[in-house]
């Protein structure tokens, strides 16, 4: 995303990201965001009437990054490869991924009390679910995945497992490695059409 | 838990629970806790020097409720029955369960910035993981579960899936039904020793 003439500088949104990941939502202040974005509080006020409005714009900005990440594909990849690459990215433990998950957990905890935030988060969740479902559906059509697989249920269960693994990593520093291995094994055993099971190994 | 002469009234801890579930951690004030517990702020100050100390005592109190819930068993239950009953409780969607999950999500989002809270949450997570692992291990020994099952990995994956399903329910109002069905099916196919697979159906 680049700065448009009529939009807020991305520095403010990037500063919000860093402030959220360092202080959490409960202790987030406009001062933190101003400091992290190297912009004045008055400039932030110029673009945003309220913290809610800033967070809403921030979440739309973050959503673009998230969907780029979730939908990333290399040309000519099989559905198997797309699914395993996606899982690999989603279970990646590098620092920037953990920072992203921390920010998302902070925002998630506001959702029960903040309807606009909840609406944005529904979109994040749907982006992941729909991507998983699309790969699985395409894989069934191409013969890579077993026809007995229900794409909806498989995608939903994977979505929940991924969310839970992320929350545990961020909140209690539990590595996602073991869950990743188990999920890859599950995908290999359950989704693979007969004779295709070696693909994940 | 009953009021001990030297401990804080449980009303304060129950009030903290209600205040957290209604306002969230970010907007939680001592006034809210006082109002919800029908106790004065000065009485709360008498027992707790700080909000951190109150939250720590609250989480120990909540932990007792949580472990009672997780470890609940009826006499003579098979390991199968214990596992499926536990999953049924954990995927229950009634209002009090959703309230509990909301409170836990609020607390979870503090963990990245608050080490004492993180330590308490590690115990919540371990209680669930260890209970699942113990049932699966016992079920392998009794011949109910397949000997090829790795109790650690199965318990870890189930723990992550349960956490994720709870967070999605609380944050984006996504029903846990479909994940529950898929998990029960997974347990039936993967964990059951051959010939035992009908038990979950």
Q: How far apart are CA B49 and CA B38, in angstroms?
A: 19
Q: How far apart are CA B61 and CA B42, in angstroms?
A: 21
The length of chain A is: 201
Provide the mean pLDDT of chain B. Answer: 91
* Nearest CB neighbour to B125, from listed A172, A179, A181: A172
All residues of chain A having their beta carbon less than 8 Å from the beta carbon of residue B182 are: 153-154, 156-157
**Beta bridge partner(s), residue B192:** B145
Judged by CB atoms closer than 8 Å, whether chains meet at B171 and A121 is answered as yes
Average pLDDT of span B7-32? 92
Q: How far apart are CA B71 and CA B62, in angstroms?
A: 14
Judged by CB atoms closer than 8 Å, whether chains meet at A112 and B165 is answered as no
- Mutation for B interface: A28, A101, A114, A161, most B CBs within 10 A: A161
Q: How far apart are CA A111 and CA A116, in angstroms?
A: 8
CA–CA min distance A12, chain B (Å):
22
Confirm if B171 and A111 have CB atoms less than 8 A apart: yes
All residues of chain A having their beta carbon less than 8 Å from the beta carbon of residue B173 are: 118
Average pLDDT of span B114-132? 97
Judged by CB atoms closer than 8 Å, whether chains meet at B171 and A105 is answered as no
All residues of chain B having their beta carbon less than 8 Å from the beta carbon of residue A133 are: none
- For residue B21, what are its two tokens? 């579930």
**Closest B-chain CA to A99:** B112
Task: Sort residue B173 into left (φ over 0), alpha (ψ -120 to 50) or beta.
Answer: left
Of residues A128 and B50, more confidently modeled? A128
Residue A87, pLDDT above cutoff 60? yes
- Digit-coded pLDDT (tens) for A66-76: 999 999 988 88
All residues of chain B having their beta carbon less than 8 Å from the beta carbon of residue A190 are: 189
- Mutation for B interface: A19, A22, A95, A112, most B CBs within 10 A: A112
**Closest A-chain CA to B164:** A164
Q: What is the ipTM of this complex?
A: 0.91
- Digit-coded pLDDT (tens) for B124-161: 999 999 999 999 999 999 999 999 999 999 999 999 99
CA–CA min distance B38, chain A (Å):
23
CA–CA min distance B3, chain A (Å):
30
- For residue A187, what are its two tokens? 């995908």
Q: How many C-beta atoms lie closer than 10 Å to residue A87's C-beta?
A: 19
Judged by CB atoms closer than 8 Å, whether chains meet at B106 and A111 is answered as no
pLDDT at B5: 59
Q: How far apart are CA B116 and CA B107, in angstroms?
A: 11
Judged by CB atoms closer than 8 Å, whether chains meet at A172 and B122 is answered as yes
**Closest A-chain CA to B150:** A182
- Digit-coded pLDDT (tens) for A40-81: 999 999 999 998 999 999 999 999 999 999 999 888 899 999
Confidence of residue A2 (pLDDT cuts 50, 70, 90): very low
Confidence of residue B3 (pLDDT cuts 50, 70, 90): very low
CA–CA min distance B179, chain A (Å):
5
Give the dihedral of Cα atoms A188, A190, A194, A200; nearest 10 deg. -10
Can you list the alpha helix ranges (DSSP code H) found in chain B? 10-23, 30-37, 41-47, 51-71, 79-90, 95-108, 115-141, 151-172, 177-186
- For residue A120, what are its two tokens? 């944005």
Judged by CB atoms closer than 8 Å, whether chains meet at A156 and B179 is answered as yes
With CA atoms as reference, report the closest residue to B155 among B197, B124, B126: B126
With CA atoms as reference, report the closest residue to A66 among A93, A89, A94: A89
Residue A199, pLDDT above cutoff 60? no
Of residues A18 and A2, more confidently modeled? A18
Confidence of residue A109 (pLDDT cuts 50, 70, 90): very high
pLDDT at A138: 96
Confidence of residue A12 (pLDDT cuts 50, 70, 90): very high
CA–CA min distance A5, chain B (Å):
34
Residue A198, pLDDT above cutoff 80? no
3 state DSSP class of A192? strand
Judged by CB atoms closer than 8 Å, whether chains meet at B160 and A181 is answered as no
All residues of chain B having their beta carbon less than 8 Å from the beta carbon of residue A118 are: 171-173
All residues of chain B having their beta carbon less than 8 Å from the beta carbon of residue A162 are: 164
With CA atoms as reference, report the closest residue to A69 among A89, A83, A87, A84: A89
Q: What is the pTM of this model?
A: 0.92
Residue B26, pLDDT above cutoff 90? no
Judged by CB atoms closer than 8 Å, whether chains meet at B174 and A125 is answered as yes
Average pLDDT of span B81-92? 95
**Closest A-chain CA to B175:** A156
pLDDT at A201: 37
**Closest B-chain CA to A181:** B153
């Amino acid at each position: 995303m680049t700065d448009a003439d009529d939009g807020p500088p991305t520095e403010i949104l990037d500063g919000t990201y860093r402030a959220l990941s360092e202080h959490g939502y409960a202790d987030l202040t406009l001062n933190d965001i101003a400091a992290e974005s190297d912009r004045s509080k008055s400039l932030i006020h110029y673009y945003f009437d309220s913290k809610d409005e800033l967070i809403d714009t921030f979440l739309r900005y973050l959503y673009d990054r998230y969907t780029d990440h979730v939908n990333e594909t290399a040309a000519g990849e099989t559905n198997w490869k797309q699914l395993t690459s996606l899982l690999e990215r989603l279970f990646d433990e590098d620092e920037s991924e953990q920072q992203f998950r921390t920010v998302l957990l902070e925002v998630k905890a506001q959702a029960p009390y903040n309807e606009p935030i909840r609406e944005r988060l529904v979109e994040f969740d749907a982006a992941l679910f729909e991507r998983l479902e699309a790969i699985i559906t395409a894989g069934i059509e191409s013969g890579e995945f077993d026809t007995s697989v229900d794409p909806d249920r498989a995608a939903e269960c994977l979505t929940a497992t991924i969310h839970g693994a992320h929350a545990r990593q961020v909140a209690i520093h539990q590595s996602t490695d073991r869950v990743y291995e188990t999920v890859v094994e599950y995908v290999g055993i359950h989704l693979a059409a007969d004779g295709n099971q070696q693909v994940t190994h």
